[in-house]
Amino acid sequence: MPIIAPPNPETRKITSLVTDLEQRMRRAEAGLRAAQLKNASITGGGLNIYDDDGAVRTVLGRQPDGTYTAISTNNPNPPPVPAAPQAIPALASIVVRHTGETASGVGWPADLNHLNIYYTEAQNPDDWKPGGSLGIGFPEELPIAPLEYTAYLVCVTAVNHSGKESAKSEPVSADPKQVVPNDLIADIFTGLELSAGVVTEAALAAKAVTATKIADNAIETPMITAGAIRGFHVAADQIDGGKLTAQAITSREIAALAVIAGKIDVNAVTAGTIAVGAVTAIKMEANLVIASRIIAGSQTGNRVELHPTLGLQAFTSGGAVRSFWLDAATGSGFFMGQVATAGSGERIVLNPGGNNPNRIQFWPAGANTFAYIDTFSEGSAAAGITMQASGGTSLKVGTVWLRQQFAQLGIADNGLIAGSQFYAEPNFVRCRSATVDLIVDQALTPVQGPRRVAFIHYDTSGAPIASGHINYQHATDGKGWFWGVNQNSGLKFDTDGLAVTNGNSMVFGPISASGFLVSSSEEKKRNVGQPRFAGGKTSLDVIKGASCKEWNYREGERRSRHRFPIAEELAAIDPSLVVQKDNAEDAQVDLRDMIGILWDAVGRLIQRVEEQ
């Protein structure tokens, strides 16, 4: 026996360290497998989410501005290129709108912050200038102002929360509307005022003329030409009313958008300051008309009325009946009478004639009749829906009935329910007609006389065709039975087997066939060997012990005599030769076993003859 030296102290120390390290690693791995942040929370802070490269991609919780949300960050992928914007000319400006679609038609990613607007003069297409931004609440619009009276190009880009910007969209062009036509500006300066070329832009340095260099009343109104003084040349409150003579400044001296509502004192413009005829229809936009109530017609009789809270209403019958109503508060609508999508041709009609409030008609193009959807009552607590193709009262048409307990699809008289139908119910689907069903349903009352159940084959009058009529019905013992009515034979679904009948369901007959095929390949068998029987008996013993008998069945058949072994004798030799049933009189024998016994017995006899 070998002698094992005890470990020295250093070895024991190393072994202890290794054991401790293994335990720590197992605890760490278990912690990694456990659910993280269970029952945890973050107070007054946020959670950073990193990508595989360690960069922060999302911040959940508190943001630098003090709000709490989820913000994408460090996203290197810009959003898709937006679709081209809409550029709408306005006074000295262009209004930019966007529908919120991408150029490729795909949807926007979740990481989308806003759209940037860029514009440039059409003659200088590479000098793009920023024009503001549009939020993601499409559609949205923003004006670019003030602008010179020339053609401009406008485009947009998409920007994500990390500031990554897409390429520019396809540009669109627009020209700002001009306040004063060019033919009014021409010839303002004449030779009487200034010689040609006396004062040029180069002759005046920037800010060369200031308010302190101009004495009070030094410049009178006739000395100021149109456009000479603009808003950005005059400091706020530098010119007050006392320094301007009456009519010193007219409309042609005021640039577009230079005077806005915030620059006009309350009551500064009164009726007395507006010249007769100065305000005409072409100078007013339709949405500038504001009223608390507008009535067309009699105030208390037949009328159409616009109301700020009740919306649009119409009253008939001397004002006593409200026939139309669009509720301004809820958007709900009410219309009493017929509603049609067109006066003729292809159209949909609701409440046709004003007296069918539940009916909807569908008129296809070029047709002189219609299909419809309507409702019907099933007692006091249920309602159904009828959908039917067009047809007269004597024409069979396709119809769908949706009921409380089931649905029907069928062919029926126009507006009626009698006819061939398909039923879809909670537990099964059936097909039925006025006299023939594929399912016996005792809950349904036959529409046209006693009901039959048939597979094939009835003629148009409902009579069975002699050479091809097969019924399914119950046998006298309550079992299912396929019966060839005019052939006096059938198939009965008997206990644990399918029986052939002859004449009626209780009389059994022979099977006539071109052949009986049995699977015989060894590849589909197991435990293949010589026949074995109880007690070591052979096939010869089986034949000797259960000899062939002749008998008549008790029920009495057309062929009354049969010859075969008796089941009880076979069972006495080996019980496995008999298939036992619930009733002893129903015991059966498998013909495959009988043929196999005969085959083996003949083989044994041949062997004995050859050995002699």
Claim to verify: residue 215 and residue 281 sit in the same structural domain: yes
Q: How confident is the model at residue 582 (pLDDT cuts 50, 70, 90)?
A: confident
Claim to verify: residue 174 and residue 56 sit in the same structural domain: yes
Tell me, yes or no, whether 42 lies in a domain: no
CA atoms within 13 A on the CB side of 370: 16
Tell me, yes or no, whether 416 lies in a domain: yes
The Cα 30–Cα 22 span in angstroms is: 12
Claim to verify: residue 275 and residue 305 sit in the same structural domain: no
Q: Using the predicted structure, report yes or no on whether residue 586 has a pLDDT greater than 90.
A: no
Claim to verify: residue 145 and residue 236 sit in the same structural domain: no
**Which pLDDT value is given to residue 548?**
92
Domain of 92 in residue numbering reads as 51-178
Q: How confident is the model at residue 94 (pLDDT cuts 50, 70, 90)?
A: very high
Instruction: Decide if 255 contacts 233 (C-beta within 8 A).
Output: no
Claim to verify: residue 324 and residue 353 sit in the same structural domain: no
How many domains does the chain contain in total? 5
Tell me, yes or no, whether 95 lies in a domain: yes
CA atoms within 13 A on the CB side of 600: 17
Categorise residue 478: left if φ over 0, alpha if ψ from -120 to 50, beta otherwise.
left
**To which H or E segment does residue 18 belong?**
helix 9-33
Q: Is 327 helix (H, G, I), strand (E, B) or coil?
A: coil
Q: Is 467 helix (H, G, I), strand (E, B) or coil?
A: coil
Q: Is 436 helix (H, G, I), strand (E, B) or coil?
A: strand
Q: Using the predicted structure, report yes or no on whether residue 71 has a pLDDT greater than 70.
A: yes
Q: Using the predicted structure, report yes or no on whether residue 157 has a pLDDT greater than 90.
A: yes
Please indicate whether residue 577 or residue 243 has the higher confidence score (pLDDT).
577
Tell me, yes or no, whether 18 lies in a domain: no
Among the listed residues 533, 605, 540, 527, the one whose alpha carbon sits nearest the alpha carbon of residue 576: 533
Could you say which of 178, 208, 237 is where a domain stops?
Answer: 178
pLDDT averaged over the chain? 77
**Which pLDDT value is given to residue 191?**
46
Q: How confident is the model at residue 285 (pLDDT cuts 50, 70, 90)?
A: low
Tell me, yes or no, whether 7 lies in a domain: no
Residue whose tokens read 């009493």: 336
Q: Using the predicted structure, report yes or no on whether residue 322 has a pLDDT greater than 90.
A: no
pLDDT per position as a tens digit, 345-385:
999 999 888 888 889 999 999 888 888 899 988 777 788 88
Average pLDDT, integer, range 113-129: 93
The Cα 517–Cα 54 span in angstroms is: 72
- The pTM of the full predicted model, rounded to 2 decimals, is 0.34
Q: Using the predicted structure, report yes or no on whether residue 242 has a pLDDT greater than 80.
A: no
Please indicate whether residue 530 or residue 559 has the higher confidence score (pLDDT).
530
Q: How confident is the model at residue 461 (pLDDT cuts 50, 70, 90)?
A: low
Tell me, yes or no, whether 460 lies in a domain: yes
The Cα 157–Cα 83 span in angstroms is: 9
Please indicate whether residue 28 or residue 146 has the higher confidence score (pLDDT).
146
Q: Using the predicted structure, report yes or no on whether residue 168 has a pLDDT greater than 90.
A: yes
The Cα 403–Cα 386 span in angstroms is: 9
Residue whose tokens read 């709108």: 97
Tell me, yes or no, whether 518 lies in a domain: no
**Which pLDDT value is given to residue 507?**
81
Claim to verify: residue 448 and residue 580 sit in the same structural domain: no
pLDDT per position as a tens digit, 517-540:
888 898 888 988 999 999 999 999
Q: Got the DSSP string for 360-429? A: EEEE-TT-SS-EEEEEEE-SSS-EEEEEE----TTSEEEEEEE-SS-EEEEEEETT---EEEEEE-SS-E
Start-to-end CA span in the chain (Å): 74
